[in-house]
Chains A and B, each alone.
Chain A
Amino acid sequence: MASTKMKIKKNKTGGRDVMVLAKHPMETGLRKDKKTGEKIPAHYIQTMDFALNGTVVAQANLGGGVSKNPLIGTTVADAKSGDTISVNWTDNKGEGGGAEKAVK
């Protein structure tokens, strides 16, 4: 998806650090709309799966306490040149997004 960006960097141990920047409001459900005074409904990413060549190797769990337009990063230790890393997230409304990138 265009709104989810991924960055893959080589780390010190030879594996890869993967960082994901997703476009998402990450509303807690507690914030009030300044104009209407109504609470803005909770809307946040819940799970974010990291997969290496199609196999999920890690899952990040998020909640309203994660910042808007969240950044989540983790290591994919076994990633090597030629592999594909993909990320898929789902939010509390069942909406989702993701991205995929080749490992250089």
Chain B
Amino acid sequence: MKKLVSLAVGMGMAVLTASTAQAISEAEINNDIAEFQGFFLKRFPGVALEDYVDGVNALPQYAHRRANWELMMDFPPYEPEMEKAEEEWSKAFANGKGFDDCNLAPANTYPVYDEASDDLRTLVADLNACLKANGEKPIKNVQRGKMARLIAHYKSQFNDEPMAVDFSAAGAQAWYEKGRQFYWAKRGQLNFSCANCHVQNAGNSIRGDVLSAGLGHGVGFPVYRTKWAVAGKPWGTMHRRYGGCNKQVRASPFKAQGTEYKALEYYEAIMNTGVPLKVPSQRQ
């Protein structure tokens, strides 16, 4: 227990009192990665780093429900949608070009820090920028449907590649810091931080569910969820999920592709360094 508290203090709680101008070094970020991953590898001894992409299904505490996922994976409901995704990706723009001509980074390196704009490029943003640059209408719904399918199609081509997000620039490190603060800050009427559930209580039960580990979050996204499928909107991007999670702790969700969720995505992607991609994911 003591070690857990000191980990929390060392990794996150101290920064809550600091201003966002506090600099963090590349070395410190590497140390954060080691501590974060080490915490989970120790907490769940039978679970290898690459298993964390399977989310809650990788945890022994989920054994009573795992067959649900295994059986769904015999023939994942997202498969017909992935065929549709390929068609959507392959359809040429009016100017004759297509998504293959977009200047995209390898999927395992997103979000990418852009020095010139001091901003983070997400895959969502890059796809919409590409559409715009080619005279096409950008996709409005950045959380579901077509955008999620396009992302799933692109990312799945990098399956098995380990997460490798760059954070060597000072500006990138500042964005990391923003994300880290968000992850460890309490929010909502329930006053929970991401870490409260997904670090300190990873593997524990909450109502009828088991809390997934923070390690691995997003590596398998976009996600095809049974709950969303029943309501007719099965696909979700990271930012859709972030919004849902914030609502669950009774906090107002932030804007998809806004500063907060971009920073959070960046922090999580860096914490996942080395975890191989497995896109898309089937979840409840």
Contact = CB atoms under 8 A, between A and B. Distances in A.
B77 A73 contact: no
B79 interface: yes
Interface string A1-33: 001010100000000000101010000000000
Contacts of B75: 5, 7, 19, 21, 71, 73
Main secondary structure of the interface of A (DSSP, over half): strand
B80 interface: yes
A19 B74 CA distance: 8
A69 interface: yes
Nearest to B74: A19
Nearest to B234: A69
A28 B16 CA distance: 53
Contacts, number: 21
A21 B230 contact: no
A23 B80 contact: yes
Interface in B215-269: 229-230
A79 B269 CA distance: 46
Query: Looking at chain A, what size class is its interface with the partner chain?
Result: 10 to 19
A50 to B, nearest CB: 15
Interface string B54-82: 00000000000000000000110101100
A101 interface: no
B90 to A, nearest CB: 16
Contacts of B229: 68-69
Given A5-B80, A21-B75, A73-B74, 7 more contacts: A19-B74, A19-B75, A21-B77, A21-B79, A69-B77, A69-B229, A71-B77
Closest CB pairs A-B (n = 4): A19-B75, A5-B80, A7-B75, A21-B75
Interface of A: 3, 5, 7, 19, 21, 23, 68-69, 71, 73
17 contacts: A3-B80, A5-B79, A7-B79, A19-B74, A19-B75, A21-B75, A21-B77, A21-B79, A21-B80, A23-B80, A68-B229, A68-B230, A69-B77, A69-B229, A71-B75, A71-B77, A73-B74
